[in-house]
Amino acid sequence: MYRLKPEIFNLNYTLDCGQVFRWERDGDWWTGVVGDQVIRVSQDNGELLIDSKLLPEFFSLYFRFDDNLPSICKSIDRDLLINRAIRKYRGLRLIRQDPWECLISYMLSTASSIPMIQKRITLLSQLFGQELEEGYFSFPDPETLANADLSMLDECKLGFRNERIKDAAVEVSSGDLDLDVLFRLEYKYARDRLMRIRGIGEKVADCVLLFAYGKLEAFPVDTHIRQVIQHYHIDDNFFEDCASLSKMGDWGRGYFGPYCGYAQQYLYYQKRVEGFAPLY
C-alpha cells in the first residue's frame, strides 16, 4: 500500500461518472478489476491511498495525470452550462482503458442502463474469465469469447448482443482487427474501422476511441448528451442541422474543439446526476 498526491484529481467523480463499469464503492474505498489485478483505492484531502501491486506509473497513465486538466478545461469552457459542470465536478479525469475490454463493454452498453451493463460484464467475467480473488474475475480474452458457445453467452443476459460479441471476438482473435493499429490511425479512420464491426455505431465507436485510445476529439452522443444539446443549445434554425445524432457529434467537435471528449464527459455526468441543471 502506498500514497500518491496527484494534481487536480477527484477519484469519486472519475470512477462514478459512467466511463468505466468494473469499479464499486464501499464507503471511502473503491475496488476495481484492471487487467489481472484487483485494486483498492481511496482519496483523502487530495491524496490517493492505493492498495495494489501495480507501480505508481501505472496509475499516472490509467488516470491520465499527464493531461493538463486546467488547460483542457479552459479550452472547453464555452458557455455557462459547461462552466458550471467544470466548477462543480472539478478533478474529473478521463481514464485510459484497455481497448479490448472497452470495446466489448461498450458493445454491451447499447440500449442499457449502467447497472445492467455492469451485470452483464460481471456475468461474462465470472463465466469466461479467471478468478483473481474471491468474487473478482479477469475480463475474458478474445480467444475465449470467440470459442464460446452461444448458449453459455445466453447465461450472461446479453440478449441480441450475443452473436455481435462473438463476431467481434472472432475478428480480434483472428487478427482481422488489430486493436493496436487504431492507436496510429487518425480519429476519422479509426472510427470508420470500428463501425465495420456489426453492432457498433457512431456512439459506441466514439466511446471506445475516447476511453481506450485517448482520441479526445471523439464526442459520443447518447440520450443524455442529445437531451443536453436539444435543451440548451438548439434554436429553431440550429435544430435542423442537429436533427441526427451524427450531426450532434459534429456540432460537439466544432463547438468544443479538440478536447470535446472531456466536455462530453462533464456534461454527461452533470446531466445524469442533476438532470437539467440551472444556468448559474
Cell readout for 62 is 490509467
Angle (CA) 3 263 193, round 5°: 95
Task: List the chain residues with pLDDT less than 50.
Answer: 236
Question: Strand 2-4 vs strand 23-26: parallel, antiparallel, or unpaired?
Answer: unpaired
Cα torsion 27, 267, 101, 25 to 10°: value is: 0
- Alpha carbon distance 269, 17 (integer Å): 5
Return all residues near 159 (Cβ < 8 A) that are at least 6 apart.
Answer: none
**What is the per-residue pLDDT across 167-212, written as a single tens digit (0 to 9) for each?**
999 999 999 999 999 999 999 999 999 999 999 999 999 999 999 9
Confidence (pLDDT) at 240: 57
Confidence (pLDDT) at 18: 94
Confidence (pLDDT) at 237: 54
- Alpha carbon distance 221, 224 (integer Å): 8
**What is the per-residue pLDDT across 235-247, written as a single tens digit (0 to 9) for each?**
645 555 566 888 8
Are 12 and 44 spatial neighbours (Cβ–Cβ below 8 Å)? no
Neighbours of 208 (CB within 10 A): 28
